[in-house]
Structure 1
Amino acid sequence: MKSLHKLLLVLCLPALLVMPACTKNFEDLNTDKNKSGENSGVPEYNFTRAILEFTGNSDYSYDTWRVNIIYCSMMMQQLANVSWYAGDKYIQNDGWAAAYFERAYPDQIKYITDVIRVTKDNAFLSNQYNIARIAKVMIFHRLTDIYGDIPYSEAGKGYSDRNFAPKYDAQQEIYMDMLKELDEAAKALDATKAIPGQGDLIYNKGGAIPAAQVVANWKKLAYSLMLRLGMRLSKRDDAVAKTWVEKAYTGGLISSNEENAFILHDASGGRTTVNRVSNILSGEWHAIDNVGEACISKTFMDFLKNNNDPRLQYIAVVPASNSEVPADQLGMPNGYDSNEGATDIKKAPGYPGDTKKYSVLNRNVLLKLNGPTFLVTYAQVELLLAEAAKRGWSVGADAATHYNNGVKAAMEQLAQYSANASISGAEVQAYLTAHPYKDTDGYNQINTQYWAACVLDWYEAWANWRRSGYPQLTPVNYVGNATGGKIPRRMLYPSSELASNPTNYQEAIKRQGTNALTTPVWWDKQ
């Protein structure tokens, strides 16, 4: 036995002698090199996911369906409903109104903030870093416009900083920081450095676009977002708005439909890749096929028909006859139901005898599963510049020129949905000749056209309506509505925030106002 102990000691001595040397690289030696981690990851993947989720491509698309369609499209009277879509009649559904908040943080903000964090000090990935900063502004811009004060400076840091109760930043502070971020990121983009590959779904589709072009387009997107943010401030602080709008114009904006910021979807990947608005309205969920669920509003239809708008031939179809002829189209009035009472649709003026005779969106143009989701467009840019010019700000041309450019771009943009939806230059000119810009009615004309140009992007239509007051929509006052017959000014924080982040939640409520549909956000000065 003693001999065995001596043998074991001799065998162990070499190992004991080298142990101190081994511990110098203990962590490295005990790290699985085949396991992916933050340092071995590809930031581009998270960037792709954040942008795709921004278009609504989470598995159940609650944000897209519940806020963009159920609420915004109906409140903005581009769609109408006689079944359960709460926004048509300003009915409060806490879960639906909170859906965008609930999905944005885990599905968008988590990923885009991770990209920024891991690329910040990497000189080789500086373009990815600055492009991600621009995308982050785009994401937070929509979120704060919907809810007002939100977690911003501490958001997305649950993984990195273990901060699960972020403070709510005041919207004024959020806006000022977003403008700063756009300014810095646009200036820092460098065409001589590496760019994101095909993971950039907006400006490097396919991954073969020259770096100089990708960088130039992202700069234009940054300044176009700056223009939009600046114009949002026009009711709150005219001087600050003017400063940022003119800076955006000087920086260089989206200047053609070819530079539109959009994602072109893939119909083969199910909920995670298809166009989610299309999937809800005409694909998996068949909203436009369910009688009275998602028809074109009478307000929007009357605007198109009364003005002989050439877009109508491609936007609408009558389900009962499958007709796309403009004269056959009929819009459904908002504020009706199918409950056999005083507000039953059968009692609406001009009821056609069958709800299938009310027009719906044309699935072959606007609602293709592989169609685009537009984020910022040339039409929007020109119409914002038209208003800026009317205000006397220095944006190159006069209001009429920018207005004409915006209307033309919005009409020609339909061809990006479908090559068959091409509106000719002659048709555009005929429309502009029949509806010339009149400065005395300029704010109305400009912002009503902006509303029309935001079809499907009802988040933006609602935001600009709250800012401008146009078009002059007639609210409905349905029995049991939550707003006293007023169009809602914001959506609702999730009730879960009161339980998980009570101190910061209550601070936001105290600063901003009651968590109600009628409480305006900071820039929406009443």
Structure 2
Amino acid sequence: MKSLHKIIMALSVPVMMIMPACTKNFDDINTDKNKSSEQSGVPEYNFSRALLEYTGNSDFSYDTWRVNIIYCGMMMQQLSNITWYAGDKYMQNDGWASSYFERAYLDQIKYIADVLHVTNGNPYLTNLYHISRITRVMIFHRLSDIYGDIPYSEAGLGYASSISTPKYDAQQAIILDMLKELDEAAAALDAFKPVPGQGDLIYNKGGSVPATQIVNNWKKLAYSLMLRIAMRLTKIDAGTAQKWVEKAYTGGVISSNAENAYILHDASGGRLTVNRVSNILSGEWNATADPGQASLGKTFVDFLQTNNDPRLAFTAIVPATGSTLPSDQLGMPNGYDQNGSGSTTDISKAPDYPGDLKRYSILNKNILLKLNGPTFLVTYAQTELLLAEAAKRGWAVGADAQTHYNAGVTAAMEQFVQYDASATISSAAIQTYLTAHPYVDADGYNQINTQYWAACLLDWYEAWSNWRRSGYPALVPVNYVGNATGGQIPRRMLYPSSEAASNPTNYQSAISRQGSNSLMTPVWWDKQ
């Protein structure tokens, strides 16, 4: 399989022409053929770049670092920190909290909007157009989850429509339009028409996958996204949620780990192609090498350890000893620092302090943090667990909650082999786990969504969003001195301050409708 680096380079090289040394066709000769334009652009390249930017692969992709890792990973207590990664203490840093907004519009949305503009109405590129519609939903779904009301209908249209101050759409309208887009795009995909080549980094890895399989997988991704988005509505509009969940199930969702939507990264292309989370935590910046900067959280390690979860053997490692034995793992509690022995929040005052920061577990970089490892976007495990909750609610999704729950837990464990071939969890080990922890309907919402939290390891954006929606797992917040939320886990991130200056009318309209630009202002679907 060609590397991502080579694919991106090949797609971006302009077609060169040999020009005769004469003055005939003067205007054509004196037009810069190397300058990007609607005519010379390669839509498949822009499509690839949009996908990569979605995984955090811009040159200085602070969004992944600041929002996914520092805030979401720490807030969800799968990570812990005693240095400057202070997201687990709910400290307000405007630059961190606004970074995803800033990067998404500059990178992801810009690229995908250009693809849609160029391919719309082109019968040869119809599949790329509809696949890009699905990708656009995936991009805006996360962005709206993080910020709520955002520029949507007019976003990315600076070139195509000269819109430099896009309006902020209400999240309710955004969600309904995204569901409509997924429904239409999935129905319009056609296996008898050309499909994207190696620029499809999700479902045409290697560039030789049959068109029928590519189209089928993108349809399943569309319906799985529809399921995920519809489930966001369970608190605010259960009737609409049920309608779209059942439509998604009928359409056909991801049904095996082989259909997982993920991008397999390339270690040779630098920041533009490596696994971005891996690069931050164990590569170029190597946060896990600094004791206490990105340790595994006590809440997460205790959950895996107490339940004899076979995933722990491949998730954690003790840096002081190199041990991966589950019994040796120790999670760092959230809410501590290194302010000295005179401070009650100094890590040395924590219960079970091991005396050496390197005895707190970190992520096993040999399994989970490889520079050429996968970034998972939507998975079979997540899909089955959402169906399990839908079934518990009495909705028509083909099976009962226990069946979907067992399938989701099984898929989450079997998925580890997609990180590394050595991370194989046997069917016997999975069955032992399920037998010891059977689904109990009276505790179903807790069980399902706690397993969803575990299945979202590394995709902390999604773990945080589903926690806000469901309330599970029942995390115990920390009340660190000076925090910005009154000791509560934040409900959203912050708009950039630049928006108030550059797009003031639309910005103020969003604030008036949604609420103050605060970490504790819930997005629409999160309102009680």
Q: Give TM class, smaller chain.
A: over 0.9
The CA deviation at 1:281 is 0.3
AA matched with 1:97: A
Change (3 A) 1:32 1:79: closer
Residue ranges of structure 2 left out of the alignment (5+ in a row): 1-24
* 1:215-226 equivalences in 2 (<5 Å): 215-226=215-226
The CA deviation at 1:342 is 1.2
- Give me the TM-score of the superposition, normalised by structure 2: 0.94
Find out whether 1:332 has 2:342 as its counterpart: no
The CA deviation at 1:211 is 0.5
Find out whether 1:383 has 2:368 as its counterpart: no
Q: What secondary structure is seen at the aligned counterpart in 1 of 2:65?
A: helix
Q: What secondary structure is seen at the aligned counterpart in 2 of 1:207?
A: coil
Partner of 2:281: 281
Find out whether 1:153 has 2:147 as its counterpart: no
The CA deviation at 1:85 is 1.2
Partner of 2:513: 511
- Give me the TM-score of the superposition, normalised by structure 1: 0.94
* 1:61-460 equivalences in 2 (<5 Å): 61-340=61-340, 341-460=343-462
Q: Deviations over 1:45-81 (max 9, x none)?
A: 0000000000000111200000000000000000000
AA matched with 1:270: G
Q: Deviations over 1:134-181 (max 9, x none)?
A: 000000000000000000000001122221110000000000000000
Partner of 1:521: 523
CA–CA distance in structure 2, aligned partners of residues 223 and 523 of structure 1: 20
The CA deviation at 1:26 is 9.3
Partner of 2:12: none
CA–CA distance in structure 1, aligned partners of residues 101 and 159 of structure 2: 18
Q: Deviations over 1:248-288 (max 9, x none)?
A: 00000000000000000001111111001000000110100
Q: What secondary structure is seen at the aligned counterpart in 2 of 1:268?
A: helix
CA–CA distance in structure 1, aligned partners of residues 26 and 507 of structure 2: 45
CA–CA distance in structure 2, aligned partners of residues 216 and 117 of structure 1: 24
Between 178-187 and 37-46, report the one with greater CA deviation: 37-46
Aligned residues: 504
Partner of 2:481: 479
Partner of 2:5: none
CA–CA distance in structure 2, aligned partners of residues 462 and 509 of structure 1: 22
Q: What secondary structure is seen at the aligned counterpart in 2 of 1:374?
A: strand
Partner of 2:463: 461
Change (3 A) 1:195 1:472: same
- Asked if structure 2 preserves the Cα contact closer than 8 Å seen for 1:86 and 1:93, the reply is no
AA matched with 1:506: Q
* 1:29-68 equivalences in 2 (<5 Å): 31=31, 36-68=36-68
**Identity score, percent:** 76
Change (3 A) 1:111 1:345: same
How large is the Cα RMSD of the aligned pairs?
Answer: 1.4
- Asked if structure 2 preserves the Cα contact closer than 8 Å seen for 1:150 and 1:170, the reply is yes
Change (3 A) 1:272 1:42: same
AA matched with 2:214: V
Structure number with greater Rg is 1
CA–CA distance in structure 1, aligned partners of residues 151 and 286 of structure 2: 35
CA–CA distance in structure 2, aligned partners of residues 390 and 522 of structure 1: 24
The CA deviation at 1:351 is 0.4
AA matched with 2:431: Q
Q: What secondary structure is seen at the aligned counterpart in 2 of 1:523?
A: helix
The CA deviation at 1:37 is 2.5
CA–CA distance in structure 2, aligned partners of residues 381 and 65 of structure 1: 26
AA matched with 1:509: I
Q: What secondary structure is seen at the aligned counterpart in 1 of 2:524?
A: coil
Change (3 A) 1:35 1:87: closer
CA–CA distance in structure 1, aligned partners of residues 28 and 167 of structure 2: 37
Between 143-152 and 83-92, report the one with greater CA deviation: 83-92
Structure 1 runs of 4+ with >2 Å offset: 25-37
Residue ranges of structure 1 left out of the alignment (5+ in a row): 1-24
Q: What secondary structure is seen at the aligned counterpart in 1 of 2:323?
A: coil
The CA deviation at 1:33 is 5.6
Q: Deviations over 1:72-104 (max 9, x none)?
A: 000000000001112110000000000000000
Change (3 A) 1:503 1:440: same
- Asked if structure 2 preserves the Cα contact closer than 8 Å seen for 1:230 and 1:245, the reply is yes
- Asked if structure 2 preserves the Cα contact closer than 8 Å seen for 1:490 and 1:521, the reply is yes
The CA deviation at 1:40 is 2.7
The CA deviation at 1:30 is 6.6
- Asked if structure 1 preserves the Cα contact closer than 8 Å seen for 2:33 and 2:40, the reply is no
AA matched with 2:288: I
Q: What secondary structure is seen at the aligned counterpart in 1 of 2:525?
A: coil
CA–CA distance in structure 2, aligned partners of residues 210 and 33 of structure 1: 34
Partner of 1:13: none
The CA deviation at 1:471 is 0.2
Change (3 A) 1:26 1:184: farther
CA–CA distance in structure 1, aligned partners of residues 33 and 387 of structure 2: 53
Q: Deviations over 1:178-234 (max 9, x none)?
A: 000000000000000000100000000111100000000000000000000010011
CA–CA distance in structure 1, aligned partners of residues 34 and 77 of structure 2: 54
CA–CA distance in structure 2, aligned partners of residues 101 and 61 of structure 1: 12
Change (3 A) 1:273 1:34: closer
Q: Deviations over 1:349-394 (max 9, x none)?
A: 1100011100000000000000000000000000000000000000
